[in-house]
Structure formats: structure tokens, C-alpha cells
Amino acid sequence: MRLTFLGTRGYIDPRTAAHFNHTSTLVSHGGTSVRIDCGEDWLGTCGRTRHQAFLITHCHADHAFGLKNGASVPVYAPPEVWEEMGAWPIKDQRVVEHRETIELGELTIECFPVQHSTKCPAVGYRITASGVSVFYAPDLVYIEDREAALAGCATYIGDGATIDRNFVRRQKDSGKLIGHTPVRTQLTWCRKLDVPRMIVTHCGSQIVTGGEDAIRKLKEYASERGIEVVVATDGMVMDLP
């Protein structure tokens, strides 16, 4: 399985050469490629693509608005995402239900609900090829069925909005948690469920502007938990065994 990180920046103003475009990742195996998310930085680039499909995690601007003018390949998303995107000129709209498994060429994909925003409900995707599984969730507070999502995964690709600052808050009306769980906590999830590696994407200001100090802090947290951590950068390619 090959992971190509096309963009790794969250919905923030700072940009660097390493984190310039909104988070979007290509997952490929054999002759099959799917692209996860397409934020507004990518608007106008989706008319001609070489991959077979888009997977959308949620309808925030930095994850979906690149598709406002349509797409040349099928777009897969859960029902609550299509409530927002359904009027867009996307010719081939495919609905993926929570915990549904779909086959796209040589990739097996399962959709898991995650908590992130009540206005824009989000999901993560567990993707498997040739016995290797990864879980991809770039925006989240928690995974609703974390054990099923992460068990047996070789790599967890998670939310880099914050390294250790608290970006989680509770809504007064619903009592639900919204926002972004720190990478430090996500590394603990990996340790508890024996996931050996975390790749950090959707990077926030703490990473984008933090330089080597931020990387050193991440590696310290990962080392304490016995986890390998990699900060994705725009254009980075990683082949998983």
C-alpha cells in the first residue's frame, strides 16, 4: 500500500513549503487509487484525475470544498455529508453507511463514525490491502468504536491540529465534545491497541510554525509510549509493507 500526502495543512492561516495545501491523501495499491478529502485549496483541480474515487470524511471547507464544482470520478461519503454536498454538481454520488464495508478495486474500505463537530458530522476510514490495514481520521475528538477501527492496523493516520494543547470543548446545548484531540492522546490510543506507527497530518499551527522543537516534542511523546511517529509533509510518499 502506498500513501501519498498531497496536502497536510489544517484550516489555519500559516503555510510553509512542508505544509502548504489543505489535507488530502492518496491511498494506492496495485492498480487502484482513492483520494481522501479535497479541501478548498484544491478547487478547480478535480475535473481530471487519475485516481478511481474520492472518499470524504466531512463537509468542512478544508476537507470537501474542492469538490464544489464537481468531480470526474465517483465520490463516496456518509449520508450526513451528502446532506451538505448533495446539491453540488457531482454526477456520481455514492453513499457509505456507518460501519459499511465497500470494495474499490484492490482496496477494502470500512467507514467509522468519529466525533468532531455536531454541525458537520465526520467519519474515518479503515483501508485494507493485501492484509495491511491503516486507519485515517484527520479531524476528531474520538472514534466511536476505537477498538474495531484500530485493532490490527499497521498505521494510524491522525489529527495534527494540536500536539498537546487542549482543543476540545463541550457544547452547552448538547453536552457533546467537539474539536480536536491532541496528538499526545492519539499516541496513547495507539499504544493501548498495539498500533506501532502514527502518521500526523492535518497539521495545526503548533506543528506548522513550531519547527524542530515541535518535532522533538512529538518524538518524545511517541518514545514514551513505544510508538513510531511521522509528521507528514506535502508530497511525502510512504510505502507500507
Per-residue pLDDT of the chain (241 residues; tens, 9 = 90+): 999 999 999 999 999 999 999 999 999 999 999 999 999 999 998 777 789 999 999 999 999 999 999 999 999 999 999 999 999 999 999 999 999 999 999 999 999 999 999 889 999 999 999 999 999 999 999 999 999 999 999 999 999 999 999 989 998 888 889 999 999 999 999 999 999 999 999 999 999 999 999 999 999 999 999 999 999 999 999 999 8
CA distance 66 to 73: 13
Residue 9 carries which DSSP code?
A: B
Question: Which grid cell sits at 74?
Answer: 465517483
CA distance 229 to 223: 9
CA distance 145 to 99: 10
Q: Is 99 helix (H, G, I), strand (E, B) or coil?
A: coil
Q: For the domain covering 2-236, report its CATH number.
A: 3.60.15.10
Domain ranges in the chain are 2-236
- Dihedral sign, CA of 101, 104, 109, 115? negative
- Containing H/E element for 213? helix 211-225
